[in-house]
A and B are shown apart, each in its own frame.
Chain A
Amino acid sequence: SQELEQSPQSLIVQEGKNLTINCTSSKTLYGLYWYKQKYGEGLIFLMMLQKGGEEKSHEKITAKLDEKKQQSSLHITASQPSHAGIYLCGADYYGGSQGNLIFGKGTKLSVKP
């Protein structure tokens, strides 16, 4: 089974609405990364969470990591068309010198004006 489950797969929201994307790991994370991607383009780093219970915000995007370090959520407040894209969570299970990420399948977000 998939180590990292991301939900929902796609999301269509009206501009101005709030939304949440979830990322659930089957095992404890060393770190959890959130990226935004427009398909066919590179990844834009949003946030990285490492401590249980950690929460970070950037503009209208807030990401949280639960205490058990197995679940993270990305919350967008008052969504705008510029938020549209694919959101990917990436799990770091090893830290240290290994550092490769296992990615979720992504959430495609559309924001209707």
Chain B
Amino acid sequence: GAVVSQHPSRVICKSGTSVKIECRSLDFQATTMFWYRQFPKQSLMLMATSNEGSKATYEQGVEKDKFLINHASLTLSTLTVTSAHPEDSSFYICSASSGTSSYEQYFGPGTRLTVT
């Protein structure tokens, strides 16, 4: 089956610094990638949708200048949390879709971000 990887799996950073999370589709071309955020014991919330080669579409309430998304190739999307604050600590999961008719999304294993 399709495999999506995320790197790093865990990251701890200091408040005010930026951190980049990578999402890669390993064995298929992902025309669309999605970034979700999950708070403890809560559901996944969609942050943004990115299509390869174009600007990401952000959900209402998500600061695009804070959460920079780049989808430069068909196998890689990155989420950069800029000037991170403790409230940005969360579990971030990406998913990728090849846009085929069955339209399944394949989820990465997630990245736990802790901002101290």
A residues sitting closer than 8 Å to B (CB atoms) are 31, 33, 35, 39-43, 45, 48, 88, 90, 92, 95-106
Contacts and interface: CB of A to CB of B under 8 A. Distances in A.
B32 A43 contact: no
Contact of B93 (A43, A92, A98): A43
A92 B95 CA distance: 14
A41 B110 contact: yes
A45 B42 CA distance: 18
Interface of B: 6, 32, 34, 36, 40-46, 49, 91, 93, 95, 97, 99, 102-110, 112
Contacts of A45: 104, 106-107
A40 B112 contact: yes
A99 B103 contact: yes
Contact of B105 (A41, A99, A104): A99
B90 to A, nearest CB: 11
B10 to A, nearest CB: 10
Given A43-B93, A106-B43, A101 B105 contact: yes
